[in-house]
Copies of this chain bind each other. A is one copy, B any other.
Amino acid sequence: MARSGAAVEEPVRRRLLAEATRLFAERGFESTSVQEIVAAAGVTKGAMYHYFGSKDDLLHEIYGRVLRMQMERLTRFADAEGPVTERLHATAMDVVVTTIDNLDDSKIFFRSMHQLAPETYKTVRAERRRYHERFRDLVVEGQQAGVFRDDIPAEMVVDYFFGSVHHLGTWYSPDGPLTGQDVGRHFADLLLSSLEPAGRPAR
């Protein structure tokens, strides 16, 4: 009974992470107290500080989980077979769909990133940077192949697109008429469309 009881009950650590994610997304990192988190998870502070070194550490783990997942998916889509236009379209769409599926994570990401301790902050930024670079390589590949316009720096196209993605959390609602697939398709279409060469007469 003891074993099965422990197995049936969700591990405390997991509940803490889940509730913290929910609360951070809802009220922000600084406005959420450790008390609130442990109360929501049905434990006490002793339990939390048993599993996590600090409140900061809790946030850091959330970031790590998100970053690992996104990087894994991006790599899979970017390294697939097919023409670069199709790969970029599929990648962009997946980024949007995944972001919408984990909207709480997204809200935390762009709202609370600067609350991390300087050391942790740099680590997260660096990993985020590698992610953007992998995405940028796709754009560069298309530019060199001549299928994307190259009069706009690929770096800026990436910042342009991910700005839109990061801000999904501020306006998208699962209760609305649009599914994640809808938004993903439209966003990917807009991205691909804006990259078409010779769109406007060169000045």
Interface residues of A (CB under 8 A from B): 27-31, 110-111, 114-115, 149, 152-153, 156-157, 159-168, 170-171, 178, 183, 186-187, 189-196, 199-200
| Distance between A82 CB and nearest chain B CB, rounded to angstroms | 16
Check A171–B159 contact: CB distance below 8 A.
yes
Check B192–A193 contact: CB distance below 8 A.
no
Check A152–B190 contact: CB distance below 8 A.
yes
Check A190–B157 contact: CB distance below 8 A.
yes
Residues of chain B lying within 8 A (CB to CB) of residue A164: 159-161, 163-164
Residues of chain B lying within 8 A (CB to CB) of residue A200: 189, 192-193
Check A31–B194 contact: CB distance below 8 A.
no
Measured CA separation A168–B168 after assembly (Å): 15
Residues of chain B lying within 8 A (CB to CB) of residue A27: 114
A26 to chain B: closest residue by CB: B114
Check A159–B167 contact: CB distance below 8 A.
yes
Check B167–A110 contact: CB distance below 8 A.
yes
* A163 touches which of B31, B157, B168, B195 (Cβ 8 Å): B168
